[in-house]
Amino acid sequence: MKELFPRKQVMGFIFSLVLTVAALLVYFLDLSFALGMTVLLVTAFLQAGLQLVVFMHAGESEDKATIYTNVYYGLIIALVTIFGTLLAMIWGMV
Amino acid sequence: MKIDHSQPLEYGTEQNKMNILGFWIFLGAEIMLFGTLFASYFTLENRIGSGPSGADIFEITPIIIETFLLLTSSFTIGLAIHAMRLGRQKAMLTFFGITLVLGLAFLSVEIYEFFHYVHVGAGLQTSAFSAILLTTLGTHGAHVTFGLLWGLGIILQIKKRGLTVETTNKSFIFSLYWHFLDVVWIFIFSFIYLKGLM
């Protein structure tokens, strides 16, 4: 039975639960907007990185450079889209 | 067909490696797709017209339940792939089955949530906010729904053919898809719900 629950993945799961509870503190504690957003950004991106490395085995295969390049490319386009939109439509800086 | 036994079976042939890489490229495109939905959501979230705002309609309990269901299902599909690499077909199918049951439970809560939103007057046509909210959540929910059917198909195929070069490859690719949906949910959970309730 024990070999079916590898330590790395069990620890990964526990850590992801801890990150979720940490994110929930934003709701249960009365934080300022800036502090709350900081907490959410940190927990969400840590959580995403955790899934990628521990569960999706992103760094295991010989084409890992290609996989990471592709993920970073997708991520950069997504972030440019989101922050570009915020700049033009919400923050009114463009 | 040449099988490289120094690798896990799902990476065993050239075709398998290409399938996995191809799926990663698809996931890159999915990141951009959800990026555009989040960009639209952040633009429209305050355009509530005469309808309710996020803080008015979000309920924390179903959101927490959904998050834990999906996080746990992401863990169990990881365990399924681990069991698959050990050649433990029965354990693998058990973990795979648990994953889909958790996915179905997640979907049920989400459907309840949609009923709730429409019930409290936030339908698809109420305001720009309610439209982009339901579109973003619905796109994620549609992915989960598709994943349930896809996963069921893979389970049936493994039952029939066992763990082969093809079925392990499909299972691994499915696990990538499922973990990705969990990642998207984490961003929905953080930047739609918790930000809206803050």
Same domain, A48 and A73: no
Query: What is the pLDDT averaged over residues B166-171?
Result: 95
Instruction: Name the domain count of chain B.
Output: 1
Q: Is the CB of A20 less than 8 angstroms away from the CB of B34? A: no
pLDDT of residue B105: 98
Query: What is the pLDDT averaged over residues B146-161?
Result: 97
Same domain, A7 and A36: yes
Query: What is the pLDDT averaged over residues B116-130?
Result: 95
How does pLDDT run across B22-50, given as a tens digit for each residue? Answer: 999 999 999 999 999 999 999 999 999 99
Same domain, A46 and A66: no
Domain range enclosing A72: 62-94
| 3-state secondary structure at position A28 | helix
Same domain, A41 and A66: no
Same domain, A42 and A1: yes
Domain range enclosing B72: 9-49+58-197
**Distance from B159 to chain A by nearest Cα, in Å?**
20
CA-based nearest residue in chain A for residue B187 = A44
Give a yes or no: residue B4 inside a domain: no
Dihedral of CA B2/B8/B9/B11: which sign? negative
**What ipTM, to 2 d.p.?**
0.92
Same domain, A15 and A49: yes
Same domain, A34 and A70: no
Query: What is the pLDDT averaged over residues B154-167?
Result: 96
**Distance from A85 to chain B by nearest Cα, in Å?**
6
Give a yes or no: residue B135 inside a domain: yes
How does pLDDT run across B54-103, given as a tens digit for each residue? Answer: 999 999 999 999 999 999 999 999 999 999 999 999 999 999 999 999 99
Same domain, A67 and A89: yes
Give a yes or no: residue B115 inside a domain: yes
Say whether residue A77 is in contact with chain B using an 8 A CB cutoff. Answer: yes
Q: Is the CB of A74 less than 8 angstroms away from the CB of B187? A: no
Among B176, B180, B197, whose Cβ lies nearest the Cβ of A27?
Answer: B197
Same domain, A5 and A44: yes
**Distance from A38 to chain B by nearest Cα, in Å?**
11
The pLDDT profile of chain A, 94 residues, written as one tens digit per residue, is 788 999 999 999 999 999 999 999 999 998 899 999 999 999 999 999 998 888 888 777 888 899 999 999 999 999 999 999 999 999 987 6
Give a yes or no: residue B1 inside a domain: no
Query: What is the pLDDT averaged over residues B128-155?
Result: 97
Same domain, A8 and A50: yes
Give a yes or no: residue B2 inside a domain: no
B77: CATH: 1.20.120.80
Token duo for residue B55: 């803080």
CA-based nearest residue in chain B for residue A29 = B198
Instruction: Name the domain count of chain A.
Output: 2
pTM score above 0.90: yes
How does pLDDT run across A9-26, given as a tens digit for each residue? Answer: 999 999 999 999 999 999
Dihedral of CA B29/B31/B36/B37: which sign? positive
Query: What is the pLDDT averaged over residues B105-120?
Result: 96
Q: Determine the residue type at A56.
A: M
Q: Is the separation of the CB atoms in B173 and B20 below 8 Å?
A: yes
Give residue A57's region: left, alpha or beta (phi > 0; psi -120 to 50): left
Name the A residues in 16-45 with CB < 8 Å from any B CB. 16-17, 20, 23-24, 26-27, 31, 33, 36-37, 40-41, 43-44
Same domain, A5 and A46: yes
Same domain, A73 and A38: no
